Amino acid sequence: IGYEHAWNLPLIDAVAGRVPHDMVLEATTLPGVVMLELDGIVQVQNGDAAVVHEVDLAQQATGYDGSGVTVAVIDTGIDGLHVGLDDMDDDNSTDDPKIIGFYDPVNNPDKVNGTEVFPYDDQGHGSHCAGTVAGTGAPTFEHPGMAPGAFLVGVKVLDAGGSGSFAVVMAGMQWTVDYRYEYNIRAASMSLGGPGPIEWTSSEEDSVNRFANEMVRAGISMLIAAGNSAAPATIGTPGGAEDVITVGALNKNTAIAEYSSQGPTEEGRVKPNVAFVGSDVMSVAHNTGDGYVAFSGTSMATPGVAGTVALMLQANPDLSPFDVRNILQETATYRQCHYMLANEPCGEDLIPKNRQNNVYGHGHVEALAAVMEAAQRDYQLDDSIGVSLETPMGHDNRIHLMPGDAIEFTIQGEVDSIQWRSNHLRDDWATLHGYEAGSEDVSLDLLTIVHQLEHLPGVTLDGN
């Protein structure tokens, strides 16, 4: 059929390449082909934020600066010659690069070990984002990043014009997962997006969204820009992915920025998750050597949250991506929707217990509270206690329950009570009343889950 192979994408059991348009239907009949998806195009989503979100207080109160944590910036590249990004201590006599890995599937797809291509940026967007995440602020130190002690990995998936195909973006995402242990990549900042297939398919059928979700499940916190379309229901790919942390933008007065995209997603999912200052953000100006420039957009808000996440992970390296998301949401300051449109309050604002809304998400990030909460979380069980999952997971790494089904666990050790909750923070922890103290067998059945969720405002349960 004339297929020209480009990329292997094992994280989502897919390949990317080219097929003549008159052979597309025939390609669907090939053995092993479950679905064909049209490639699409994504584009860039174009020192006060640290004070607004108390990042400076978090650094001062705890001493954390992101040390030991690596953040991947999946964007247009990173300028490895800028003084704010070239090394850790701003001393040219030492060999301590800040950018410890770099992959360029746009122009050098075969050089995959992370050290063969010197970090560069022929557009500027990625360098600005990288500076916000972890720049040192050199030479004047007026505009440091949120986590100046963190390492960076650059993944160049967008060209000099600031755009790139879904296939190349996913190739960069796959590389990030493949090298996550080598570089200790714990978070990734992606300030890019586009409409693409999300306009006519669900999130789990859209490859970029699926890829983002799988990266979260692989242990990488994904911070993704909501977009700059300034209207309801305009969050596209990959910001609409379920498991990522989608970031809206605030102006300097902490009101929602007029350009910040709003939810819901195509599937009706409430997004964004949180908001961060994205207007007039000063950061690295690429190819200037030591210059800084102000940009605005959800692109500028997203790396601010990524830097905050680096502080949280330094405080507690045991946090999972879901822990990180939950803490950011729990500690955020709730903001009502009608801050955006005074005459159109959101239904969520009328609920006594405030819920995530489609303008601010759970609210604006409070870095000090988030870092302190992260440091206090301890998920280590006592050595005498163990938990084993007995119910097998499906091919999608999830457990699907039909009526009468349950999730079965085995407990080793003496346990008095068990609590559970949804990782979407739909409610507080619920006690599992059917569990008998000291029992080895634990069962969380579908009916218990439904009863816990169905009474919540704005939640509709259907099917299985």
What is the SS3 assignment for 202-269? CHHHCHHHHHHHHHHHCCCEEEEECCCCCCCCCCCECCCCCCCEEEEEECCCCCECCCCCCCCCCCCC
Q: pLDDT class for 267, splitting at 50, 70, 90? A: confident
Residues 124 and 59 in one domain: yes
Q: Considering the candidates 165, 189, 191, 299, report the single residue annotated as catalytic.
A: 299
pLDDT tens sequence across 278-315: 999 999 999 999 999 999 999 999 999 999 999 999 99
Range in 154-158, 205-209, 362-366, 456-460 with the lowest mean pLDDT: 456-460
Asked if the structure places residue 327 within a domain, the reply is yes
- 414 within domain boundaries: yes
Q: Which of 53, 82, 125, 364 is catalytic?
A: 125
Minimum mean pLDDT among 78-92, 266-280, 336-350: which range? 336-350
Which pLDDT band, with edges at 50, 70 and 90, does 348 fall under? low
Q: What is the mean pLDDT of residues 168-197?
A: 90
Judged against a pLDDT cut of 80, whether residue 47 lies above it is answered with: no
Residue 401: band (very low, low, confident or very high) from pLDDT cuts 50, 70, 90: confident
Contact 332, 373 (CB under 8 A): no
Q: Based on the domain organization, do 354 and 390 belong to the same domain?
A: no
Separation of alpha carbons 409 and 442, rounded Å: 5
Q: Say if residue 305 is in the same domain as residue 434.
A: no
Lowest-confidence region among 222-226, 241-245, 348-352, 379-383: 348-352
Question: Distance between CA 438 and CA 426 in Å, rounded?
Answer: 29
**Domain match, 239 and 360 both:** yes
> Which pLDDT score is estimated for 425?
45
Take residue 270 and report the two structure tokens written for it: 């409430």
Q: What is the DSSP string of 408-443?
A: EEEEES--S--EE--TT--S--EE-TTPPTT-SEEE
Which structural domain, as residue segments, surrounds residue 407? 386-453
Q: Is 91 a catalytic residue?
A: no
The answer to whether position 458 is within a domain reads no
Reported confidence tier of residue 321, pLDDT bands at 50, 70, 90: very high
pLDDT at residue 397 greater than cutoff 70: no
For the segment 54-82, the average pLDDT, to the nearest whole number, is: 95
Res. 374: pLDDT tops 70: yes
Residue 125 annotated in active site = yes
Gap between the Cα atoms of 302 and 319, Å rounded: 20
Is residue 459, in this structure, part of any structural domain at all? no
Question: Span 435-458, mean pLDDT?
Answer: 82
Same domain, 152 and 268: yes
6-20 pLDDT, tens digit each: 999 998 989 999 999
Residue 32: burial class (beta carbons within 10 Å; 0-12, 13-18, 19+): exposed
Let me know whether 404 and 354 are in one domain.
Answer: no
What is the rounded average pLDDT of the residues 396-404? 79
3-state SS assignment for residue 299: helix
Residue 431 forms part of a structural domain: yes
| pLDDT score, position 350 | 58
pLDDT of residue 199: 44
More confident residue, 218 or 421: 218
Residue 200 pLDDT: 42
Q: What is the pLDDT of residues 71-105, one digit of tens each?
A: 999 999 999 999 999 999 888 788 899 999 999 99
Q: Are residues 189 and 167 in the same domain?
A: yes
Q: Are residues 162 and 81 in the same domain?
A: yes
**According to the model, what pLDDT value does residue 428 have?**
60
Please check whether residues 177 and 191 belong to one and the same domain. yes
Q: Is residue 290 part of a domain?
A: yes
Mean pLDDT of the chain: 87
pLDDT band (50, 70, 90) for residue 150: very high
pLDDT tens string 116-131: 999 999 999 999 999 9
- The answer to whether residue 391 is domain-embedded is yes
Q: What average pLDDT does the segment 330-358 reach?
A: 67
Contact of 226 with 235, CB cutoff 8 Å: yes
Question: What total of structural domains would you count in the chain?
Answer: 3
Token code pair at residue 283? 């950061």
Does some domain include residue 381? Answer: no
pLDDT for 197: 40
Q: Any idea what the CATH number is for the domain that residue 60 is in?
A: 3.40.50.200
Q: What is the pLDDT of residue 351?
A: 55
Counting every residue written for the chain, the total comes to 464
Catalytic hit among 65, 75, 206, 243:
75
Higher-scoring residue by pLDDT: 317, 430:
317
Q: Is 75 part of the annotated catalytic residue set?
A: yes
Whether 50 and 31 map to the same domain: the answer is no
Q: What Å distances lie between residue 368 and 132, 145, 249, 331, 333, CA to CA?
A: 17, 15, 19, 9, 12
Q: Say whether both 26 and 48 belong to one domain.
A: no
Query: In which band, very low, low, confident or very high, does the pLDDT at 52 lie, cut at 50, 70 and 90?
Result: confident
Residues 339 and 398 in one domain: no
pLDDT of the residue at 394: 74
**pLDDT band at residue 202 under the 50/70/90 scheme:** low
Instruction: Please say which residue of 376, 400, 416 terminates a domain.
Output: 376
